[in-house]
Structure 1
Amino acid sequence: MSDYGRFAFEPVLNLVNGRPVGIEVHRCQARDQPELAARGAVWGPRQLAEFDAGIAISSALHDTDYDSTVPVHVDVLADTVVLARSRIGQLRSSLHNRAEGRPTPPVLLEINPALSAAPPDAFAEGVAALRADGFGIAFDTVGRGFGLDLIAELQPDLVKIDASLVARLPHVPHARTVVQALCDVCRAVGVRVSALGVTHPDELAAVRDHGIPWAQGPLLAGSRRRPSTVGILLPVDLMPRIHGAPASPPAPVPAARRPSPVPRDEPAARLAALATFTQAPVTLPEDVTAEAVRQALADHPHVGCVVLLDPQRRPVGFLDRNRFMIAISGPFGRALYAHRPARTLAEEPRTLAATADVRAALAYCLAGDRTRTYDDVVLLDERGRCAGIVRVTDLLQEATGVHAAA
């Protein structure tokens, strides 16, 4: 990692569609690691937290070439959340000032286990305060420092499974038991899970076997000197294989041997929760210009929309790629719209709770304005924030038996 200089940027990838969903800033030098720097100094807990907060801000400001449509993941200690959160609160404003008017990415704080002390009540208070300031919250290296009760109580936006646990996952039954427990709790409370340090194909297969949708590591995408996500995509040989419906129907089964029909209230694939098909959306602040949206679509040629979010990350505008490009590509389109707020071209997002099922979502898509039947559906968490998008084509594939498998 030292070859990258002081900081490096590692993509976080969606294992379903292969696209980047975030980029983490790594500290490459020993002098920036609190646990190493503190060994040669007589520091108290507050000094350690202030040091960590300063390095976190420096890491985020190391570059300005961010892809503003995916979150930047910044590491902090749990100690810092308790003792120096006012300093951390300066990170977003500093990033905004450094950008000089350009869109800035959402910031996800990756909270690492405490080095000295982080009392649970004070830690919960700190997390709530940082959320109120507009930060996303992730628990980093879970399996090494955070208990399941804390995940269930605080419900972070993301939980990252420790790389050492991922490395043991294919071969050590106890590791699989721990990861399964983590995944069960996270699914129960609606927390997304990601895997760290995926290095070998058998680790990737084990991660997929546990239904973990996001991951990062040298097998998937190497670290970079710059935080741009342009050109990043999961290698083709690591993408999930696609299985379609059989070409011809199976031979009929005699009535006496047919299984009993599934009761109407029995869970089935067509009643699966929408969260199963969630993809990370391309999002931008609600006040961006149309030119910023055009650039975001150019940087992400495979996406079909951009979602505009307010400061609380609630969806306030939806821009379909085709309709947006037609609007700005027409006569005088760039001249009329390039520097105007993109929201003037946006439509109302079609939203559903992330706990809804596939059948309800398809009924919702087919109702109302037929010109928007194939618009992506924006999912909301319990706080009304954007939790992702679901493509109507994925819902149709699930309903007709076409699905992706690892």
Structure 2
Amino acid sequence: MSASGRFAFEPLLNLVTGRPVGLEVLRRQTRDRTEHVAQTSVWGPRQLAEFDSGIAGAAVLHGADHDASVPLHVDVLADTVVGARGRVAQFRTTLERRNPDRPAPPLVLEINPALAAAPPEVLLERLAELRADGFGVALDQVGRGFGLEFVSALRPDLVKIDAELVARLPTDRTAAAVVTAISEVCRVVGVRTAAVGVSTPDELAAVRHHGIPWAQGPLLAGTRRRASTAGVGLPLELMENAAARLRPSPVPRSAKIPGRPGVAELVQAAVSLPANATAEQARQALADHPQAGSVVLLDAARRPVGFLDRNRFMLAISGPFGRALWAQRPASGLTEPPRTLPADVDIPVALRHCLSGDRTRHYDDLVLLDDAGACAGIVRVTDLLRGAGGDSSAA
């Protein structure tokens, strides 16, 4: 069977901005699902881990033409992280070698509960090693396969609330209590949550009521055959009053004013290129991402070293002989200094930053920085204004 029939991509959406924040690779064929293989074979933990890592590796390569504007989420079992960490660690290198001329998408490992054996202490150690290698980490089925203590010990980048809980959320008080407990622990330790399998307006309303900022499911966006976010967005009718209903960010930050939502809830992945990219590569990146308003040039440590606003850049290269003049020249010759902010500030601070300095750049995307000064994504000024309006209406 061809790879095109084995995998599909499901968008993960930010419920405030309505924009995609990730693409999860789904295994469409039963024979590729490790849970099925475990039930129908006599394989031991080592064989299952090798099988699971092999299918996950194939899923990563299937997303090799990914547009890199949002992270690629790949499912692996906890057993696989413990028993085949070396093979999992190769995913990034394999992806980078597959398309050396294109930036590789950020990879997020979605860790599913163990089928056989994954001692928590060993799992924590292996996940710490993978994070050091540059992987993001999400936990699936928290409350069912992972305890809340494990969430507080690991502090993953994302906790996903499974579809079975989401389906019961509007009418089942027990499910609501479980989701409340998960959300509270995540809020305290600074972990974002996402809902899986949202399929009805009632489920979406319940998800928003619990302050869950990200979600995926058939109501929000269908699965796709290609790893592209082109045309993906929350339907307009599902955006109504979203910002007002969504409670403040579950991510406590030192630079945030308590009770106010932070820019971290509005962040989206930057369209980025290496610092030595040519102007033609920047033009192609903008053509590949029609929804993007900018390109950020990054050094080897992913620190932003240049900013290209779509309108000003396209104007510069579209004049007489502009494209011929600039095509093979470094795009850095047309860049401006990125307008940067720490990823942990609140929305009013970010808005004040937008209004300071050069008036011609008041509507430039803001580039957010993590603790190491690396690019953590961008925030659009229109989203800041929408977030500020939702904050005041909620107050």
- Which TM class, normalised by the smaller chain length? 0.7 to 0.9
Query: Is residue 161–residue 196 contact of structure 1 (8 Å, CA) maintained in 2?
Result: yes
Instruction: Name the residue aligned to 1:86.
Output: 86
Instruction: Name the residue aligned to 2:274.
Output: 286
Query: Is residue 286–residue 343 contact of structure 1 (8 Å, CA) maintained in 2?
Result: no
Deviation digits for residues 52-82 of structure 1, max 9, x if unmatched?
Answer: 1111011122354322211111111111111
| Deviation, structure 1 residue 200 | 0.9
Amino acid at match of 1:203: E
Instruction: Name the residue aligned to 1:95.
Output: 95
Once the two structures are superposed, the pairs formed by residues 66-81 of structure 1 within 5 Å of their partners are: 66-81=66-81
Partner Cα distance (2:267, 2:16) in 1? 8
Instruction: Name the residue aligned to 2:203.
Output: 203
Deviation digits for residues 187-213 of structure 1, max 9, x if unmatched?
Answer: 333322211111111111111222222
Amino acid at match of 1:286: P
Instruction: Name the residue aligned to 1:25.
Output: 25
Q: Which moved more, 1:298-307 or 1:114-123?
A: 298-307
Amino acid at match of 1:179: V
- Alpha carbons of structure 1 residues 223 and 242: separation in structure 2 relative to 1, 3 Å: closer
- Alpha carbons of structure 1 residues 165 and 374: separation in structure 2 relative to 1, 3 Å: same
Q: Which moved more, 1:20-29 or 1:339-348?
A: 339-348
Deviation digits for residues 364-405 of structure 1, max 9, x if unmatched?
Answer: 333344443332222334444444433334445565778788
Once the two structures are superposed, the pairs formed by residues 1-16 of structure 1 within 5 Å of their partners are: 5-16=5-16
Partner Cα distance (1:366, 1:387) in 2? 22
| Deviation, structure 1 residue 313 | 4.6
Instruction: Name the residue aligned to 1:218.
Output: 218
Q: Which moved more, 1:390-399 or 1:203-212?
A: 390-399
1:149 aligns with 2:164: no
Structure with larger Rg: 1
Amino acid at match of 1:192: R
Query: Is residue 71–residue 107 contact of structure 2 (8 Å, CA) maintained in 1?
Result: yes
Instruction: Name the residue aligned to 1:301.
Output: 290
| Deviation, structure 1 residue 167 | 0.8
Query: Is residue 11–residue 21 contact of structure 2 (8 Å, CA) maintained in 1?
Result: yes
Instruction: Name the residue aligned to 1:364.
Output: 353
Partner Cα distance (1:101, 1:349) in 2? 23
Q: Which moved more, 1:44-53 or 1:14-23?
A: 14-23
Partner Cα distance (1:393, 1:223) in 2? 27
List alignment gaps of at least 5 residues for structure 2.
Answer: 245-256
- Alpha carbons of structure 1 residues 344 and 44: separation in structure 2 relative to 1, 3 Å: farther
| Deviation, structure 1 residue 217 | 0.9
Query: Is residue 198–residue 217 contact of structure 1 (8 Å, CA) maintained in 2?
Result: yes
List alignment gaps of at least 5 residues for structure 1.
Answer: 245-266
Partner Cα distance (1:77, 1:64) in 2? 21
TM-score (norm 1): 0.83
Partner Cα distance (1:156, 1:320) in 2? 33
Instruction: Name the residue aligned to 1:167.
Output: 167
Query: Is residue 240–residue 404 contact of structure 1 (8 Å, CA) maintained in 2?
Result: no
Amino acid at match of 2:5: G
- Alpha carbons of structure 1 residues 7 and 233: separation in structure 2 relative to 1, 3 Å: same
- Alpha carbons of structure 1 residues 308 and 113: separation in structure 2 relative to 1, 3 Å: farther
Partner Cα distance (1:185, 1:151) in 2? 8
Partner Cα distance (1:156, 1:202) in 2? 28
TM-score (norm 2): 0.85
Q: How many residues align?
A: 380
| Deviation, structure 1 residue 225 | 1.8
- Alpha carbons of structure 1 residues 94 and 394: separation in structure 2 relative to 1, 3 Å: closer
Partner Cα distance (1:63, 1:398) in 2? 32
Query: Is residue 71–residue 269 contact of structure 2 (8 Å, CA) maintained in 1?
Result: no
